[in-house]
Amino acid sequence: MPEKRDISGYLHQSEISTRWMDNDVYGHINNVQYYSFFDTAVNRYLIEQGVLDIEGGDTIGLVVETGCQYFAPLAFPDTVVAGVGVGHIGTSSVRYEIGLFRKGDSKPAAQGFFVHVYVDSASRRPTSIPEDMRKALEAIRFGT
């Protein structure tokens, strides 16, 4: 896991509203919701860039690995700012790195990653990342 990344290090950021049901009995967002926030932030970016067709696309990303570090609690009614970046792009895979921040904070409440392997939607066999998607991923790649 990379070191904590300040919010300014993410080239793409989007807000996610927390919901009452996201809280657990301990009064903070349950850990499983963080993965939902990761997925929401990444897919929102891809849809906004016009490179993910969730209903009829020929290529889809399947999650094959995930991880998360928790640094500070989030709780409803916080607004979460998700920073999304790309740590690595391969032929058919990409590693997304995501920071979750309480709106107004520069330090992450949580930071994680997941790896998508892109596959043909019909055969479910790995396929090269389409060129338009690759360009969208390069636009938020760390270190470029």
pLDDT class of 2 with cuts at 50, 70, 90: low
What DSSP element (H or E) covers 43?
Answer: helix 31-48
pLDDT tens-digit readout, 92-113? 999 999 999 999 999 999 999 9
Q: Find where tokens 């740590």 sit.
A: 87
DSSP SS3 for 10: coil
Query: DSSP strand E in 1-144: where?
Result: 12-17, 59-70, 79-89, 93-102, 110-120
Q: Which two tokens stand for residue 49?
A: 């860039």
Residue 7's pLDDT is 97
pLDDT class of 55 with cuts at 50, 70, 90: confident
Region 21-45: mean pLDDT is 95
Residue 144 has pLDDT above 80, yes or no: no
Q: Name the pTM for this structure.
A: 0.94
Region 23-40: mean pLDDT is 95
Residue 120 has pLDDT above 90, yes or no: yes
